[in-house]
Structure 1
Amino acid sequence: MRARVLGGALLALVAAGVLTGCSAPAPAPTVTVFATATPTPDPTVTAALPQSTATVFVPVPEATVTFTPNDVPVIPETAFAVDNGAVPGATGEPATNGAGEIITYTVVAGDSFFDIAQRFGIPVQQLLRMNPGVAGAGEAVYIGNVINLDANSLG
């Protein structure tokens, strides 16, 4: 019986070998390959910079400026007209009172308030105070306007 058992075992081994020999070989395992890119640096171009032709200025310390105000002009409260003669811008004839003092001047074509003040030796500001009816700084005088030149009265 022993021979039978041995024969059965042998037969089982042969059958197992035949069956394994007939089967397809086991497939090879799948291999995945990852390619990692190695970064290459950008090419560097080294160029010589142009030489500067700029002029460099050294800062200068600021100068100290001292202002001395002018003396305040003295404008007399009263001014007496003195005829210095006709000048361009004041060519008319002044009117006088019985004592021969100049009291008024009538504006004629081409006259200006400034020139009238100069002709009669009266500061413009004083002449403006004597003639409150003259607008602005005396720019608006018209032919036929009567300008007061009497320091004792307002026009």
Structure 2
Amino acid sequence: MNSARPTPAHPAARAALAALLLLPLALAGCAGAPAPVVTATVTVTPTPTPTPTPTPTSVPEAVVAPDPTITPNAEAVPAEPLPEGPAVDLGAAVGAAGAPVTDGAGAPSSYSVLEGDDFFAIAQRFDLPVQQLLRMNPSVSGLGEDIYIRDVINLDWTTTG
């Protein structure tokens, strides 16, 4: 052994020595110089809100409205009276399938509401305008929409229900 450097006798010791010698070279490229720390000081000074200066305005002159012209409505035209007359039974139909009560002359005088009946169908069956049937039956509310089973509908125009 002529070498100037001593060599370890054990191979594991040689590997450890080589790793120690190469470690600084391996780590040299990993970490760069630390970044400088920048410190800034900010001072906030509140700015007061300016007070608005009022804008002068001119005072408008008083506006005088002209006297309105009053035009009366046209004369009301009276509604044509509904035809009044005895009810005529045109026969049972959907929405008015029950049997009416008749007077001594055989004319229908009243009708008892059954399940499924409606006021419009009853008016059609007895050949009466709905408005006339409503006028003949003031106890029926809701324009005839509120009738119930066993309600009695007056069909005699000479009497009101």
> How many residues are matched?
84
**Where in structure 2 are the equivalents of 1:6-155 lying within 5 Å?**
74-155=80-161
Quote the offset at 1:79 in angstroms.
3.1
1:137 counterpart SS class? helix
User: Which amino acid in 1 is paired with 2:114?
Assistant: V
Q: What residue is the counterpart of 1:21 in the other structure? A: none
- Aligned residue type for 1:105: Y
TM-score between both structures, scaled by the size of structure 1: 0.51
Root-mean-square deviation over aligned CA pairs: 1.6
Amino acid at match of 1:97: D
Specify the structure having the higher radius of gyration (Cα).
1
Superposition deviation, residue 118 in structure 1: 0.4
Q: For 2:96, what is the secondary structure of its paired residue?
A: coil
**CA distance in structure 2 between the aligned counterparts of 1:151 and 1:88, rounded to whole angstroms:** 24
Q: Secondary structure at 1:87's aligned position in 2? A: coil
Residue 147 of structure 1: SS of its match in structure 2?
A: strand
The alpha carbon displacement at 1:136 in A equals 1.5
After TM superposition, give the deviation of residue 75 of structure 1 in Å.
4.5
Q: Percent of aligned pairs with the same residue?
A: 55
Misfit runs of 4+, over 3 Å: 72-75
Q: What residue identity is the alignment partner of 1:113?
A: F
CA-CA distance at 1:100 after TM superposition: 1.1
* Aligned residue type for 2:115: A
TM-score computed with the length of structure 2 as normaliser: 0.49
Shift of residue 81 of structure 1? Answer: 0.5
User: What is the one-letter code of the residue matched to 2:141?
Assistant: A
Letter of the structure 2 residue corresponding to residue 91 of structure 1? A
Listed as ranges, the gaps of 5+ residues in structure 2 are: 1-77
C-alpha distance in 2 between matches for 1:132 and 1:118: 18
**1:99 CA displacement:** 1.6
Query: Which secondary structure state, in structure 2, belongs to the residue aligned with residue 118 of structure 1?
Result: helix
> Counterpart of 1:120 in structure 2: which amino acid?
F
State the SS of the aligned residue for 2:143: coil
